[in-house]
Every structure is written in C-alpha cells, then in structure tokens.
Structure 1
Amino acid sequence: MPLTPQDVVLFQGDSITDCGRDRDRQLANDPASLGNGYANRVAQRLLAELPGVTVHNRGISGNRVWHLRDRWAEDALALKPTVLSILIGVNDTWHGTAKGQPLDVPEGGTSLPEFGRIYRELLDRTRAELPDVKLVICEPFALECGAVTELNFHPDIDERAKLVRAIAEDYADVFVPFQTVFNDALAQAGPDHWAGDGVHPSEAGHQLMADAWLDAAANL
C-alpha cells in the first residue's frame, strides 16, 4: 500500500460517504466521526496497517456538487489532505431529473453542464492550493431496484458517471469505478442485496466499496 503514516486522507461526498457520522464531533480517526460505511472500513484498514495516518470524513447527506463548492474551504482545503477522495453525483440526479424538480436551483438537481463545471472548478481550486494532493475520484452509481427503478435514475446517472470518468482522466491520480464494481457483484446476488433502494449501500455494499477503494489506492 503506497500510502504512508504521514498521509492525511479526506473523504468527501454525500450520504453514501456520511453514513450516519456524528457531525458534531468532526474528529480524525474517530469511529463516530467516520460513520458506518465504506470510509470507516477504509480507515480501519489504514489505521491498522499505517499507525499515524490521519483519516477524516466530511461527507454530508443530501449534498450535491454545489454544496461541496460552498463548504470546500472549511471542509476540505483547511484540513490540508494529502489524499482527497470525492464521491458525488447521485443527489444531483435524484433531486433533479429523477424527481422532475428544477435544475440548478437550491431545492433541485444539477444539470450535466453545471455539474461538470462546478466539479472541475473544485478540482482546479484544490490543485492550486494543494498542489501535491493525490486525488481519488469515485464513480457515482445506481443499482436497478428501489428508488432507482421507481424514479428511472439510470439515463441521467449513467451520463453523469461518464462525465465523472472524463473529469477523472484530466485530474485524478486514481479512479474508483464503483458502478463497474457493483455491476460485477450482480453475478453473486441481486441489486437489493447490495443497496436496498438502489442508492444507499447495504453492509455488503459498503464492504465492496471499501475493497474497491483500497485496490485503487494501491496505484497512488
């Protein structure tokens, strides 16, 4: 594993990353502050193998990409990560196209052009202020069950994932292909085994994500 005990790892994103963390604590390497999902599982492995490493989780449930932009100074740059992991996009679909709500307004989703513009703006800002940071860009995903099926997520989330892959080609040190990981897992069990509503992973789903993240991090 190429990470070192001196690394500061930051997970950013929405509810999939948040996963019930105690936002009042905001402590590094603290189980309650890390939530109950893939970020916590990655942290457990890193802390066991690299004593001294620092791991933060600043995911917030419901966030779209513009939420990240609005809190980036405090919740990302100020922490001075050496490894920054970002998973964002599903709420930009869910709160917009999937629910038939307006795009590019606070209560709605985010259009694909605006999503890409803000995402790139975040990464440009990050590279300017933290030139040595390693970027782990994660693919947004959806499984065909629950809310995803009911609200027909896939046309929009698939295009959003393509956009994130293109952004990753320009900016990422590593890309984590979560949609591919879950698609491959469907050979073992149905979609609701991995994410009951098609969006929020089960215990099994979070373990898949943690394993995939760690596999990708081996290439940092």
Structure 2
Amino acid sequence: MRPLRFVALGDSLTEGVGDPVGGLWRGWAALLARGLAPVDAGVEFTNLALSGAQSRDVLERQTPEALALRPDVVSVVIGVNDTLRCTFDIHSVAERLDTVYAAFRARDTLVMTACLPDPGSMLGLPGALARPLARRQRAVNTVVHALSERHGALHLHAAEEEWLTDRAMWSADRLHPGERGHRQLALRFHALLAARGIATGAAPAAEPEFAAPTRSASLWWLATAGTGWVARRCTDLLPQLLTLAASEVRHRARGTSSRLDLSAAHAVSAALAALSVADQPDAA
C-alpha cells in the first residue's frame, strides 16, 4: 500500500513564509503533512505553493503539476494576492476556483480550502484604504465558502477567529503567521481531517520549537525582504486603491456606504449564478 499523497497549492501563506527553518520556509502544510499518517506509514508531501501566486497561477501552473502527482489530499488556499491587484475580478476568481476544485474532485481527491482575513485589517491600514480590501476579501471568502460546499471540500474557517487578534501568532510583516500561527493552522486542518478519519498520525504540537525572532531581527527583515515583498504586490494596486479610498470617503460623507457593500454582494451572486448556469446541459 502506497503512502498517502498530500499536495499543497497556493501562495506565500502555504509556502510557509513566516516560519523559517534552516534557511527555508516550512509552514503549516509541512507541519500538517507529518501528522497525516503514523510515522511508520509515511506521507508523500509536495508543496507547489509560491509567494505572490494568484488564482490564475494555481489554475494554469500548479494544478496541472499537482494532478500529475495523483494526490489523495490537496490544499487550495489562495485569493489574497488577487485582492491586491488592480485586475481583481470576482467573476474570474470564481471561475478559476470552480475549475480547480472540479479537476481534483473528478480524480476523487479530497480538497481542503480556507477563508482568510483581509490584508487591510491585518496591516492596520486607515479605514478608507482598508475597507475596499476588506470588501474584496469578503467576496473571495464568500465564493470559497459556496464552492467548497458545492464540491464537497473540507473547509477551514480561518477569517474571523480569536487567534487573528493574538499578535504572538503573527510574523513581523503582520500578513503571515509566525511559527505559532502556522502551527495553529496545521492543528485546525488536522482536527478536520481526523474527524473524517483521514489524518491518523499525531497532531502537530501547538507550541513552537524555535524561539520567536527578536524585535531587532524582525525590524531588519521588514526593512529588507519584507518591504520588497509588500512593494512588489501593491505597486499596480496603489493608484486604484487610492481611487477606491476616495470613493469610500465620498460615500461615507453622503451616508451611502451601504451601496458599495450591496454592489459587491451583487457581483458575488452574479459570479456564482453564472457558474450554475454554465453547469446546465444546454448552457452552450
């Protein structure tokens, strides 16, 4: 009997940014892999996640490679980078994720998904800048919820839990978990998999095995690699974000902020409805 095969898809969160081990990133997926089966049974784990990846990258690059590995379990945690681009379109995100989930379910692969906190609140941006990003992330999370249910995915609610406000869970950049946070994600996924009888190994330890980075080390990371990381992902968004922020201010002054939320909700509903219509036999 071959070992269980687990393949992780996604962006920097799944790549393991925030949890450095031996000069490389480890992260929640690697921690989870260790507990999917007893030590003597073994697990074949492949991490295809890449920093900066968007839903298009998962669909066009990571999914074909993952399908070739014939995994038993695959994690697809993606979407934050989509919200940080001026090209953000919830219809496109929904179509891509639907295609990705369906491709794995057609192979009887268990798909794991998660909803995520919005980057604006994690970074502590001013309200007018944070609200457009929050609205986008809510749209992505709503789509992920709906499609996870549609495709029978194992879904982790990771967007609105108390652990998000615990500073000890997060790395210096405030966007990625530190080791303790990555361990929390691994523990929560392990519990869901164990409930289905899939994770049969020991759950990951909750306590870190390495000391947290010192304040000076964290500041150095932010001043070097961290600043570059943020800049590369926000360069094309900034002009649009300023426009969105100006719109937020105008609507707030007029007392019509609810219109922006309503418009976003309608866009999500339309995106999901379009997928349902496409599934009809005579849709073509």
TM range (shorter): 0.7 to 0.9
- SS of 2:125's partner is helix
| Corresponding residue pairs, total | 189
CA contact (8 A) 2:55 2:79 kept: yes
Q: Of Structure 1 and Structure 2, which has the larger fraction of its residues in helix? A: 2
Aligned pair partner of 2:109 in 123, 130, 133: 133
Corresponding residue for 2:258?
none
Tell me whether 1:60 sits opposite 2:50 in the alignment: yes
Measured in 2, the distance between the counterparts of 1:141 and 1:175 equals 15
CA contact (8 A) 2:105 2:111 kept: no
Measured in 1, the distance between the counterparts of 2:172 and 2:139 equals 22
Post-superposition offset of 1:48: 5.1
Measured in 2, the distance between the counterparts of 1:170 and 1:79 equals 24
CA contact (8 A) 2:48 2:62 kept: no
Aligned pair partner of 1:175 in 147, 155, 176: 155
Task: Report the TM-score when normalising by structure 1.
Answer: 0.74
Corresponding residue for 1:8?
5
Post-superposition offset of 1:159: 1.7
The 5 A counterparts of 1:20-59 are 35-46=25-36, 49=39, 51-59=41-49
Where has structure 1 moved over 4 Å in runs of 4 or more?
A: 47-50
* Residues 47-98 of structure 1: per-residue CA shift (max 9 Å, x gap): 654632211111011010011111145421011001111100000012x2xx
Post-superposition offset of 1:217: 1.1
Post-superposition offset of 1:162: 1.2
Percent of aligned pairs with the same residue? 24
- SS of 2:159's partner is helix
The 5 A counterparts of 1:42-121 are 42-46=32-36, 49=39, 51-72=41-62, 74-94=64-84, 96=85, 101=86, 103=87, 110-121=88-99
CA contact (8 A) 2:169 2:179 kept: no
CA distance 1:160–1:133, change in 2 (3 Å) = same
* Residues 2-29 of structure 1: per-residue CA shift (max 9 Å, x gap): xx97311111100111126xxxxxxxxx
Post-superposition offset of 1:160: 1.0
CA contact (8 A) 1:5 1:50 kept: no
Measured in 2, the distance between the counterparts of 1:88 and 1:53 equals 23
- SS of 2:195's partner is coil
Corresponding residue for 1:145?
122
Unpaired runs of 5+ residues, structure 1, are 21-30, 104-109
Measured in 1, the distance between the counterparts of 2:2 and 2:149 equals 27
- SS of 1:179's partner is coil
Measured in 1, the distance between the counterparts of 2:42 and 2:48 equals 20
Measured in 1, the distance between the counterparts of 2:75 and 2:186 equals 12
The aligned amino acid for 1:19 is G
* Residues 181-206 of structure 1: per-residue CA shift (max 9 Å, x gap): xx22256x34x743544421112211
Measured in 2, the distance between the counterparts of 1:42 and 1:205 equals 13
CA contact (8 A) 1:136 1:172 kept: no
Unpaired runs of 5+ residues, structure 2, are 197-284
Measured in 1, the distance between the counterparts of 2:12 and 2:118 equals 14
Q: Which structure has the larger Rg over C-alpha atoms? A: 2
CA distance 1:59–1:38, change in 2 (3 Å) = same
Tell me whether 1:208 sits opposite 2:198 in the alignment: no
